[in-house]
Structure 1
Amino acid sequence: MNRKNRIAGWMLIGCCIGLVWVACDKKSTDPAPKTNEELQEQFQTLLNNVVVNDNAIHSAVLMVEAPLRNLSWKGAAGLADPGANLAMDPDDQFRTASIGKMTCATLAMALVEAGQIGLDDSIHLYLPDSIMNGLHVFQGQDYSERITIRQLLSHTSGLPDYVEDGDANANGLPDFLELLMAQPNEFWTPEETIAYAKEHLTPFSQPGQGFHYSDTNYQLLGLILQNVTTKALNVLYRESLFSPLGMNYTYMEFYDTPIPGIAGRSLSHVYFGDQDYTNWISASADWAGGGLASTTGDLTRFLRAFVSDGIFQNSQTKAQMMSWGSTGITGVYYGFGMVRVNFEELGLPGAGEIYGHDGFPQSFMYYWPGQNVTIAGTLNQAVPEKFDALAVVASVILLLQD
């Protein structure tokens, strides 16, 4: 499942029922509430079954924090480096991919809160002509200067996604991903990805006329953050989020010096089907829309700070980020860099809803307000055969329900 199909995949969670079934033992049918020890065993079994039963998935990590149960657990399964037969560790780092949209949106909203930018400001106020010229030409009319920061954040600018729009040879693989695979040693700047979108793709609608998930929006947003603050995006991350929140093992790939989560270990290996793209320099194309390496512990710190109003000065800033709009998919909504999934609408009664974000290699960071639970991890595989990120998240929720 590629990233565009992942949007549709937000509703394909039926497999989680079977996943829960294999994760539970006979004790799960007992009407008595599960003990934390039983839950921890079932979480680990869940991870083991994901790796064992899906041949495409080589490793998985998961962290579940449920304060109301006095439960904090993290586990791992599979191999962080199959070539070296190195077992995955719960504290291993991984590519978070589009989870970075929520962190990037958080940086942007801090600037909105401080009055440095406005949600309804035209983006041309903050970007040079080299970026703006011909950025959004739809049906012969140039709408570039009508795009607002709000529209970038909410994927309603109408701009195409440089990563996954366009399939000239109709082989089912987006042209840009084919380019990254063909030239794995090519470094991409954000300006080059935007230029690619302008040259090879066309907008989907006028600005503000509907939802279209597009990494191009967040490349533009990252450039705006840099221009307004006069700081490189990786520096802004470090100063505004990572250091204040104690996210000591999170860094921006290709821009920061890697900070090992465990001494002597590097990023856990990540796959696109049978291709290991861990060391592809072309992965630099994922910048403000992703671009981070992190751990389950650091993602949990960020999410816990976010939900407990530990980031913004005004709680209304968080509320603005959670202004949910339709994605056109039943049960799935999008705010500012955030996904909301209503499991009730997707046929899982009693599961409630979650919000957060997931990423290309089936990375995930979600909050379940029903029981004040954070769930973070990855499957390190962009195209799993059986299980995806939401299947694991939904399975954790169902296991937590007594």
Structure 2
Amino acid sequence: MANSRTQKLGEIFDKATSSNQIHEGVLFVENTSGDFSYSKGYGGKELDSPLLMASITKLFTTTCILALLEQGKLSLDDKVTTYFDHSVLSGIHVYGGEEYSFDLTISDLLFQISGLPDVFEEGKESAKIRGINEDFYTTFDDMVALVRKLNPHFAPRTTKKAYYADINFDMLGEIIEKVTNLTLAEAYKQFIVEPLTLKNTYLPECENDFVPNIYYQNKAIYRPKFIMSSRASGGCITTARELMIFMKAFFGGNLFNKALFEKLPLYNKLQASMGPIYYGSGYMRIPLNGLITLFMGKGELMGHSGSTGSFAFYYPITDLFFVGDLNQMGNPALPIRLSMKLAMMTK
């Protein structure tokens, strides 16, 4: 059974990396106990090679929020006005002629139900388009200013609505710093890196911190300032080996109270461009029993992917974790497709 499973995993990964779009990659699959383990690298990328977590960093931010919730240092019902000056929030959410900027809560940010626009993907000044062409640093205030130029998509907490926007997690990162009186890098160390004894996982803060190249189509680009700007929404560096350790801890209840986590069941489908993905409690859920799999799958993947090809998912039905990286910014759907195929073949 194990040999058959490893063969299938290898075949799926080989097919994914045979694409002209993929120049390097790594896959690591394990069950909770670790008695089943499979890994494979491509193009020189291996288990201990640095990889950009990109939006998987949101799971780190979620971890800190849930740990602080457990400690009673914040509430998901807290209005963001508790943590930000009036001048910072003013004008960021005006929808249908009404201003909702001062009505936003931590929960709205964590569940991606604020309705705020996404400066990474949207507008003529989208950070993604600019980042492909040049390296630049953006402050939190800069991001807020860009949000003000875009239109929100719905009023906060509109029934069955969710919209994926980095600014939600950028704001959560600022809140973590204010509540803990630590930098975000220090908070990640305290709540994640040190408890799990991770040696190669960090949030880059200066030019001396190593940042790996990202591929955009056939070009390897180096964007340290851009990555350092991403912080709570997408700035962490790790390895496949250490990402596996984190994922097991995240879903195993080793970093915060699992019962608390499981009491947060609100999930809504994201915008159409995000495919079959639902969002809630600070992570993605991808059902495998829908049209995209021709109703042939079972259960769901839980975790996160990144726009640069990173992926980290748990598939409870087979108790398998899939983590790794395809390092391709030109097609953010690739890691989602790969993760779904891996799950479908191991059911």
Give the TM-score, by structure 1 length: 0.78
1:138 Cα deviation from its structure 2 partner: 2.1
1:246 Cα deviation from its structure 2 partner: 2.1
Deviations 1:46-77 (A, max 9, x none): 3333222x111101101100257821122101
Larger Rg: 1
* 1:215 aligned to which of 162, 166, 176: 166
Greater alpha carbon shift after TM alignment, 278-287 vs 143-152: 278-287
The corresponding residue for 2:55 is: 98
Query: Is the CA contact 1:234–1:255 (under 8 Å) kept in the aligned structure 2?
Result: no
The corresponding residue for 1:340 is: 285
Query: Is the CA contact 1:246–1:301 (under 8 Å) kept in the aligned structure 2?
Result: no
SS in 2 for 1:145: coil
1:91 Cα deviation from its structure 2 partner: 1.6
Q: Runs of 4 or more off by more than 4 Å in structure 1?
A: 328-331
Query: CA 1:121–1:340 in structure 2 vs 1: closer, same or farther (change >3 Å)?
Result: same
The corresponding residue for 2:232 is: 288
Distance 2:13 2:217 in 1: 19
For structure 2, list consecutive stretches of 5 or more residues without a partner in the other structure: none
Deviations 1:177-203 (A, max 9, x none): 23333441x2222222122222x2121
Distance 2:4 2:140 in 1: 47
1:255 Cα deviation from its structure 2 partner: 5.0
In the alignment, structure 1 residue 315 sits paired with structure 2 residue 258:
yes
Distance 1:383 1:177 in 2: 10
Q: Give 1:2-401 correspondences, 5 Å limit.
A: 34=1, 36-52=2-18, 54-67=19-32, 70-78=35-43, 87-167=44-124, 175-184=126-135, 186-198=136-148, 200-209=149-158, 210-254=161-205, 258=209, 268-312=212-256, 314-327=257-270, 331-346=276-291, 347-384=294-331, 388-401=334-347
SS in 1 for 2:270: strand
Distance 1:282 1:69 in 2: 36
Distance 2:297 2:130 in 1: 44
Query: CA 1:102–1:67 in structure 2 vs 1: closer, same or farther (change >3 Å)?
Result: closer
Query: CA 1:389–1:232 in structure 2 vs 1: closer, same or farther (change >3 Å)?
Result: same
Query: Is the CA contact 1:126–1:224 (under 8 Å) kept in the aligned structure 2?
Result: yes
Distance 1:107 1:257 in 2: 25
Deviations 1:239-281 (A, max 9, x none): 11111012221111235964xxxxxxx6553212234233442
Q: Percent identity?
A: 27
Distance 2:305 2:265 in 1: 16
SS in 1 for 2:194: helix
1:328 Cα deviation from its structure 2 partner: 5.9
Q: Work out the number of aligned pairs and report it.
A: 341
1:105 Cα deviation from its structure 2 partner: 1.2
Greater alpha carbon shift after TM alignment, 98-107 vs 327-336: 327-336
SS in 2 for 1:364: strand
Query: CA 1:241–1:154 in structure 2 vs 1: closer, same or farther (change >3 Å)?
Result: same
Distance 2:163 2:341 in 1: 28
